[in-house]
């Protein structure tokens, strides 16, 4: 962990809490089978048909 | 000579109307004259550039043309490892990043005949959208002194716009190719995720990093992209998909293409003159036969939060050592942004990655069912004054950074190909810019639309008055 002043530390934790809240709400109904590697599959599936 | 586009110069060299030595010398003269105030370069490699140019001229005289960039002087963001040169990544440490491999994109440009002029200025660790740098000086906006050059590929934007180089490479994790292109009035291409190898370039966020060209015309950018794109055994994320003939496809009419202007998010808080310029470009495309309509995009704000979680987690992991052992070497805003990453839980990071997959699948299915490309502003305002964005508390600076890159970051999460290109000037002479995003791996369509807009608007960009 970076040793910084306590105000900076609190700010970082506050920023993370806000981000995490948004992600948690949006991710609430993700399918069990969803995984990060599906991103690459989404790109491939969306490419123009050659 | 430096006002020629890359394509024009390559043709002139091939026809032996101009030599590689003359072109390289013209760039070096201009760098000597202007870079003291523009601060585009971190490392200039003049002697080797001239030696290489002489060798290329000898090759051509003997009937050997290395490739489509034979003799063309280029320069690279100082996070690309180039054999024999240090790679500071914009930090205080001259050799911050080392690699056994030369940056694949640089190696491909060299193999195509390019001359390397040197390494270009950038925001420290590529973490900053304005292009200021506490160690190497703030890159100067060629059109408006005292205003930002855009970052993080600031030197790439400045060098190309100011005619110090005929093209450049940059990297784009949240807009770092498109933001300097927008501020400096040139073209910047963020390709599809996986289209261009990142091997041999400093990583900031392996999920969101892209390498791509900055150039003075769409054609120049397409040519550079054609050279650097394609599978690379040194980058596991690089795609085996064929690149296709991007330059050859530019002249096809955009008449059967469908273009969408976002109803939500992309025009919120955007200055009226930026909005007017982008809407003007939409009318231009319509006059060329494209079908232009408005549409509502899946909420880009969530994508920005996903980008923040992924970038901050990954950048903190990658750059943990400097952040922990030598934090005083880093600028306050960079230190602050890295620090956030140390507080993100594995749970949140993984949820963001899973969410990204779903959001990308949904965006591609919903949006590209309706249109072939999305047209939007690149930046919400033309290049702001440096003093206005670098003053105040660290918290204020970081929030300004987020606002300035809010229009580019969603496309990094989605991994889609995007071209940023000029669409006019503000009343006080600062460049305005728009971005065109398309289907995954469909660089051909976004470049074709961008080229059509550019041609309808005449000369790619008005040169900055620097002499």
Going from N- to C-terminal start, the domains of chain B cover 6-456
Beta carbons of A39 and B241 less than 8 Å apart: no
Closest CA of chain A from B341, distance in Å: 8
Percent of chain B at pLDDT above 90? Answer: 96
Beta carbons of B355 and A24 less than 8 Å apart: no
Closest CA of chain B from A42, distance in Å: 5
- Domain B6-456 CATH (choose: 3.90.1300.10, 3.20.20.450, 3.40.47.10, 3.30.1370.30): 3.90.1300.10
Q: B300-315: string of b/e by CB count within 10 Å (b at 16+)?
A: bebbbbbbbbbbbbbb
Can you give the pLDDT at residue B248?
97
Closest CA of chain B from A6, distance in Å: 12
Q: How far apart are CA B152 and CA B130, in angstroms?
A: 7
Q: How far apart are CA B186 and CA B161, in angstroms?
A: 6
Query: Once rounded to an integer, what is the mean pLDDT over residues B176-192?
Result: 98
**Which residues 388-407 of B are in CB contact (within 8 Å) with A?**
394-395
Q: Tell me the pLDDT tens digit for each residue of A1-47.
A: 444 456 666 777 777 888 889 999 999 899 999 999 999 999 999 99
Beta carbons of B354 and A34 less than 8 Å apart: yes
Query: Once rounded to an integer, what is the mean pLDDT over residues B326-337?
Result: 91
Do residues B323 and B338 lie in contact, with contact meaning Cβ atoms separated by under 8 Å? Answer: yes
Query: Once rounded to an integer, what is the mean pLDDT over residues B129-154?
Result: 97
- Average per-residue pLDDT in chain B? 96
Cα distances (Å, whole numbers) of residue B304 to B290, B310, B324, B427 = 30, 10, 27, 30
Beta carbons of A43 and B342 less than 8 Å apart: no
In 3D, which of B45, B8, B7 has the Cα closest to residue B27?
B45
Mapping DSSP to helix (H, G, I), strand (E, B) and coil, where does residue B98 land?
coil
Query: Once rounded to an integer, what is the mean pLDDT over residues B236-256?
Result: 96
B393: closest chain A residue by CA:
A8
Helices (H), B16-143: 20-38, 46-61, 104-111
**Which residues 106-135 of B are in CB contact (within 8 Å) with A?**
none
pLDDT at B462 > cutoff 80: no
Q: What is the bridge-based pairing of β-strands B41-44 and B73-77?
A: unpaired
Can you give the pLDDT at residue A6?
61
CB of B194 within 8 Å of any CB in chain A? yes
Can you give the pLDDT at residue B458?
55
Beta carbons of A39 and B394 less than 8 Å apart: no
B238: closest chain A residue by CA:
A40
State the catalytic residues of B: 77, 152, 176
Provide the terminal-to-terminal Cα distance of chain A, rounded to the nearest Å.
Answer: 49
Size of interface A-B (CB pairs under 8 A): 125
Would the CA dihedral through B331, B310, B321, B238 be positive or negative? negative
Can you give the pLDDT at residue B313?
97
Interface with B, mutate which of A4, A9, A28, A36 (most B CBs under 10 A): A36
Can you give the pLDDT at residue B413?
98
Q: How far apart are CA B319 and CA A2, in angstroms?
A: 11
Which among A19, A34, A43 has CB closest to B358?
A: A34
Can you give the pLDDT at residue A13?
76
Which among B193, B306, B357 has CB closest to A23?
A: B306
If one counts the domains in chain A, the total is: 1
CB of B345 within 8 Å of any CB in chain A? yes
**Which residues 346-365 of B are in CB contact (within 8 Å) with A?**
348, 350-358, 360-361, 364-365
> Which residues in chain A have their CB less than 8 angstroms from residue B252's CB?
none
Which among A1, A38, A47 has CB closest to B361?
A: A38
> Which residues in chain B have their CB less than 8 angstroms from residue A38's CB?
354, 357-358, 361
Cis omega (within 30 of 0) on the bond before B421?
A: no
Q: How far apart are CA B125 and CA B127, in angstroms?
A: 5
> Which residues in chain B have their CB less than 8 angstroms from residue A23's CB?
305-306, 309, 348, 351-352, 355
Residue A1 lies in a domain: no
- For A32, the domain range is 6-46
pLDDT at B183 > cutoff 60: yes
Q: Tell me the pLDDT tens digit for each residue of B278-316.
A: 999 999 999 999 999 999 999 999 999 999 999 999 999
Do residues B300 and B174 lie in contact, with contact meaning Cβ atoms separated by under 8 Å? Answer: no
Confidence of residue B461 (pLDDT cuts 50, 70, 90): low
Do residues B165 and B73 lie in contact, with contact meaning Cβ atoms separated by under 8 Å? Answer: yes
Query: Once rounded to an integer, what is the mean pLDDT over residues B435-453?
Result: 98
Can you give the pLDDT at residue B22?
98
Beta carbons of A12 and B442 less than 8 Å apart: no
Q: Tell me the pLDDT tens digit for each residue of B389-416.
A: 999 998 899 899 999 999 999 999 999 9
Q: How far apart are CA B265 and CA B467, in angstroms?
A: 40
Q: Tell me the pLDDT tens digit for each residue of B97-123.
A: 999 999 999 999 999 999 999 999 999
In 3D, which of A9, A36, A47 has the Cα closest to residue B309?
A36
Do residues B23 and B73 lie in contact, with contact meaning Cβ atoms separated by under 8 Å? Answer: yes
User: Any long-range contacts for B61-64 (C-beta under 8 Å, 24+ apart)?
Assistant: none
Mapping DSSP to helix (H, G, I), strand (E, B) and coil, where does residue B377 land?
strand
Beta carbons of B441 and A4 less than 8 Å apart: no
């Amino acid at each position: 962990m970076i040793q910084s002043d306590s105000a900076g530390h609190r700010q970082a934790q506050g920023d993370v809490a806000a981000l995490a809240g948004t992600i948690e709400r949006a991710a609430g109904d993700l399918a069990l089978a969803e995984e990060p590697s599906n991103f690459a599959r989404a790109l491939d599936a969306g490419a123009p048909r050659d | 000579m430096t006002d020629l586009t890359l394509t024009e110069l390559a043709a002139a060299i091939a026809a032996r109307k101009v030599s590689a030595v003359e072109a390289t010398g013209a760039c070096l003269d201009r760098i000597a004259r202007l870079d003291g105030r523009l601060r585009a370069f971190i490392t200039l490699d003049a002697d080797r550039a001239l030696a290489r140019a002489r060798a290329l001229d000898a090759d051509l005289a003997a009937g050997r043309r290395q490739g489509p960039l034979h003799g063309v002087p280029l320069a690279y963001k100082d996070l690309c490892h180039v054999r024999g040169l240090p790679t500071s990544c914009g930090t205080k440490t001259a050799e911050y990043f080392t690699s056994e491999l030369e940056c694949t994109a640089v190696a491909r440009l060299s193999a195509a005949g390019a001359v390397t002029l040197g390494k270009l200025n950038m925001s420290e660790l590529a973490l900053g959208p304005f292009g200021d740098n506490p160690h190497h000086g703030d890159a100067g906006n060629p059109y408006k002194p005292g205003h930002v050059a855009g970052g993080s590929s600031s030197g790439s934007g400045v060098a190309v716009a100011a005619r110090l180089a005929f093209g450049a490479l940059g990297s784009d994790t949240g807009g770092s190719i498109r933001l300097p292109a927008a501020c400096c009035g040139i073209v910047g291409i963020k390709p599809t995720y996986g289209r261009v190898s990142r091997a041999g370039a400093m990583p900031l966020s392996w999920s969101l990093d892209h390498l791509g060209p900055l150039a003075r015309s769409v054609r120049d950018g397409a040519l550079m992209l054609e050279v650097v794109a394609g599978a690379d055994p040194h980058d596991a994320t690089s795609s085996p998909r064929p690149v296709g003939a991007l330059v050859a496809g530019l002249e096809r009419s955009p008449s059967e293409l469908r273009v969408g202007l976002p109803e939500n998010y992309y025009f919120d808080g955007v200055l009226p003159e930026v909005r007017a310029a982008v809407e003007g470009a939409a009318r231009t495309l319509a006059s060329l036969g494209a079908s232009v309509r408005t549409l509502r995009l899946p909420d880009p704000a969530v994508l920005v939060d996903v980008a923040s979680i992924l970038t901050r987690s990954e950048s903190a992991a990658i750059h943990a050592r400097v952040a922990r052992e030598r934090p005083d070497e880093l600028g306050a805003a960079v230190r602050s942004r890295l620090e956030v990453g140390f507080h993100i839980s594995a749970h949140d990071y993984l949820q963001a990655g899973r969410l990204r997959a779903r959001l990308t699948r949904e965006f591609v299915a919903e949006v590209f069912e309706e249109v072939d490309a999305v047209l939007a502003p690149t930046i919400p305002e033309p290049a702001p004054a440096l003093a206005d964005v670098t003053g105040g508390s660290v918290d204020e600076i970081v929030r300004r950074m987020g606002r300035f890159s809010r229009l580019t970051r969603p496309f990094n999460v989605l991994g889609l190909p995007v071209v940023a290109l000029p669409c006019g000037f503000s009343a006080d002479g600062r460049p305005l810019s728009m971005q065109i995003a398309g289907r995954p791996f469909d660089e051909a369509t976004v470049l074709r639309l961008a080229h059509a807009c550019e041609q309808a608007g005449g000369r790619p960009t008005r040169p900055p008055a620097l002499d």
